[in-house]
Every structure is written in structure tokens, then in C-alpha cells.
């Protein structure tokens, strides 16, 4: 009976609302709202875990903390990674066992800050190594292709496909740069840029496994490369 009654200020009941058609835009907004809710919930869960670690440490060692200090500690610990907090707890236990006078929050957060900094520096080093290795791979691939045959439309389309399907930001940046270089080379063989765009558009349209959004993104990247290169140097017919 409750599901048949109108809500306060509404002319239609819940069953009537459920029967109403829903547009694609409304569906997308609802999906986005759910994603944002799940993301916020995950962040809140992680923050609660961090607070649990902090309170457990204080209770275990019976650390006396003023209310203002505890409030700052609860605020600060949310900015550190859970993994860093776990490593800090192990280091803190060893340090306190060697010297009980170190059993305070200032010493704990001093260790936590150092461990988090080490983790951040290691993440930066891994990022640089990954970028360098991927760049070398692309360079080697480019040299092999240069020795074998000139750049083709299929080569550019293949790179565009990688640009819109790879999730890694590093890979995307390098692939987009390579698309620009190859587009510039291919333009040297065409006296009219329109015919080149037509062939690239037809080849891109044949990638049926890509979504409409991915094809649109790939075409925008391609047009950007064509525009930049045509601005830098006019297209001339091949000899």
C-alpha cells in the first residue's frame, strides 16, 4: 500500500515514477553519481582504517595525548598511505623496545614522515624508469620500421588505437608524440591534406572494436597533429 501512495508534494506515486521513460543523459548522470559515491565511500573507509591504526597505537602503549594534539594527529594521518603507516608501526615498535622514552606521537609521526618520503621518492624513480624504458622500446621499434619501410596509414591508426585504449598516462603521452611525428612524415607524400584526412578517417572507421567515444578521441588527436604540422610547414608533393 505504501508504494502506491504519492510522496509529499508529488502528483504521481512511486510506481508511476518507475514506469516513466528515462533518457540516456539521466542514466549517465545516475551512473556518475554512483561512481562518485563509491569513490567517496572507499576514501572514507581508508581514512577510518588509518584512524583505527592511530587509536590502536595510542591504546596499546597508553600514550597520554591532549585533545588538541589528538585532533591534529587524526587530521594528519589521513594524508599518509596505509602501507607507510603499517611500516611505521613496525619501526616504532623496534624503536620503543630499544628506548622506551621514544614512545610518543611526535616520534611516531617523525618515522612516518620519513617512510612516506622514501615511498614517494621510490614511486618517482619507478615512474622515470618506466618512462625511459618505454621510450627506448618505441625508439627501437621506430628504427626497425624505418629500415624496413616508410610510415603507412595503418601504422598511424595502430598508434591512435593504443592512445585511446591504454590507461597509462605515460604510454598515452609517448604514443601521441609518435602519432605527431609519423603524421608529419606521411604528409610529405601528399600534395592535398584533404585526401590524407579522408584515408585516415576511413581507416579509423573500420576499427569496429572501438567505441564511438574512443573513435572521436582518436580523430581529435589526429586532427590536432595535422593542424600543428600544417602550421609549421606547408604540405608539398613528393618528388
Spell out the per-residue pLDDT of the chain, length 239, in tens.
Answer: 454 545 555 566 666 666 677 777 777 777 777 777 666 555 578 899 999 999 999 999 999 999 999 999 999 999 899 999 999 999 999 999 999 999 999 999 999 999 999 998 888 888 777 777 767 766 766 666 665 567 788 888 888 888 888 777 777 777 777 887 888 788 878 777 788 888 888 888 888 888 888 888 888 888 877 765 555 544 443 33
What is the C-alpha separation between 126 and 170, in angstroms, rounded?
12
What's the confidence (pLDDT) of residue 238?
39
What's the confidence (pLDDT) of residue 235?
41
What's the confidence (pLDDT) of residue 146?
61
What's the confidence (pLDDT) of residue 66?
93
What's the confidence (pLDDT) of residue 110?
95
Amino acid at each position: 500500500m505504501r508504494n502506491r501512495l504519492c510522496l509529499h508534494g508529488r502528483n504521481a506515486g512511486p510506481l508511476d515514477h518507475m514506469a516513466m521513460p528515462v533518457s540516456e543523459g539521466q542514466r549517465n548522470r545516475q551512473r556518475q553519481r554512483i561512481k562518485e559515491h563509491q569513490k567517496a565511500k572507499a576514501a572514507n573507509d581508508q581514512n577510518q582504517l588509518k584512524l583505527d591504526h592511530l587509536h590502536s597505537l595510542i591504546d596499546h602503549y597508553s600514550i597520554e595525548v591532549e585533545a588538541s594534539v589528538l585532533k591534529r594527529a587524526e587530521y594528519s594521518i589521513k594524508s599518509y598511505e596505509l602501507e607507510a603507516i603499517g611500516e611505521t608501526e613496525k619501526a616504532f615498535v623496534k624503536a620503543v623496545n630499544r628506548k622506551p622514552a621514544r614512545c610518543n606521537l611526535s616520534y611516531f609521526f617523525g618515522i612516518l614522515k620519513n617512510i612516506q618520503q622514501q615511498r614517494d621518492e621510490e614511486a618517482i624513480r619507478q615512474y622515470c624508469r618506466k618512462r625511459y624504458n618505454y621510450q627506448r622500446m618505441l625508439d627501437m621499434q621506430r628504427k626497425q620500421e624505418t629500415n624496413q619501410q616508410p610510415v603507412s596509414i595503418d601504422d598511424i591508426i595502430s598508434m591512435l588505437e593504443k592512445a585511446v585504449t591504454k590507461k597509462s598516462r605515460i604510454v598515452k603521452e609517448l604514443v601521441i608524440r609518435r602519432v605527431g611525428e609519423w603524421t608529419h612524415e606521411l604528409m610529405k607524400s601528399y600534395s592535398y591534406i584533404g585526401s590524407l584526412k579522408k584515408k585516415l578517417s576511413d581507416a579509423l572507421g573500420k576499427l569496429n572494436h572501438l567505441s564511438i567515444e574512443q573513435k572521436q578521441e582518436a580523430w581529435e588527436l589526429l586532427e590536432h597533429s595535422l593542424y600543428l604540422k600544417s602550421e609549421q610547414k606547408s604540405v608539398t608533393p613528393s618528388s
